[in-house]
Amino acid sequence: MHKQPGGHLLTWLDAMKAQSPPHFNSSTLHASDHDHTLESPQSCTYDMQLRESAAATAAYTAWKKQCPSAVRMFKKLMVEAKAKQVVVFLDYDGTLSPIVDDPDQAHMSDDMRAIVKEVATYFPTAIISGRARPKVYEFVQLAELYYAGSHGMDIMGPADATNGFKAKGTRVKDKMGNDVVLFQPASEYLPLMDEVCKILSESSKGVRGARVEHNRFCVTIHFRRVKEESWGALAEKVENVLKDYPTLNLTHGRKVLEIRPAIAWDKGKAVDFLLSSLGLADSSEVFPVYIGDDRTDEDAFKVLKDLKHGCGILVTSVPKETKASFSLRDPHEVMEFLLYLVRWKKQELDGVKNGSKTSPCI
């Protein structure tokens, strides 16, 4: 969503609310042992939450008929991927790690890190996040991956990557001393993003719970710890600052507003760039898989849908409008899917080694 006039503040806020699943009070929901004969306020709340929870479950079950589980449909997916080069693209927050109130605490588990490392052993693998690339790298700590931070505006890959990536990027060393290549299509915006982040950090101080995060090529304003009645005031502060910066755009995600350079670049463009760099663009012999949970991942889902091969997988526990073809409920199911993917590849390789032409079974 591009920057809008003041009348559209409510649209942003409504869209943010729609991006996050509802939460029910577990202490109330587990109070079924109590006598609810009398219509106390607590029993009324309990009954209402039960009805809302049941309705949400029914809606999600119905939605999955259009966007089925990628775990349950795994064998069908791998029939399409057979004899093709699988390429794996992963979002970070909400996909490899749970969504948490403090973005600095969004750590992935050791088990998730281990399975992602295995995935990268068998398939070209990239993490594409709205976070600053160095922050995502700090969380993941795997040098063999491609990293695209700031929604793809800051891409890093191993120095032994394909010639296409090296030709377009700059060779440097990362914090661990590894040789890497950087590609940054919005590098001229860095001073501007620094300036906007500083102004927003100062102007949002009066809103309790607000947090401004500098993600290098985008600035993220977190609403997760802000009381809902204060969302309008915080969004208005953001818009007031942005009025002076016509070369920047405003987008929304899960309880965040984000300011980005107004260039034709997004997660979908990052997928295109990485496939091209790997020499896999416009090829029916490639099977890209993109897994993400946020509306910003829709740009990547659209790219894969237009390719007519590969698949987009949305991570969500509630129904959402999406261009993805399949779904996973949460990071735990993401890990399960990635484990299946590794096992499938190992069995495929074993079959080739043993001269077997049978399809691997999971």
**In the 8-state DSSP scheme, what is residue 103?**
G
Asked if residues 150 and 160 have their Cβ atoms less than 8 Å apart, the reply is no
Written as six digits, the tokens of 316 are: 């969500």
Catalytic one of 33, 91, 244, 294: 91
Asked if residues 167 and 134 have their Cβ atoms less than 8 Å apart, the reply is no
Q: With b meaning 16 or more CB within 10 Å and e meaning fewer, what string describes 210-233?
A: bbbbbbbbbbbbbbbebeeeebee
Asked if residues 221 and 211 have their Cβ atoms less than 8 Å apart, the reply is yes
Asked if residues 206 and 219 have their Cβ atoms less than 8 Å apart, the reply is no
Phi, psi of 149 (to 5 degrees): -95, 175
Note if 91 is an active site residue: yes
**DSSP output for 121-138:** HHS-EEEE-SS-HHHHHH
Enumerate the active-site residues: 91
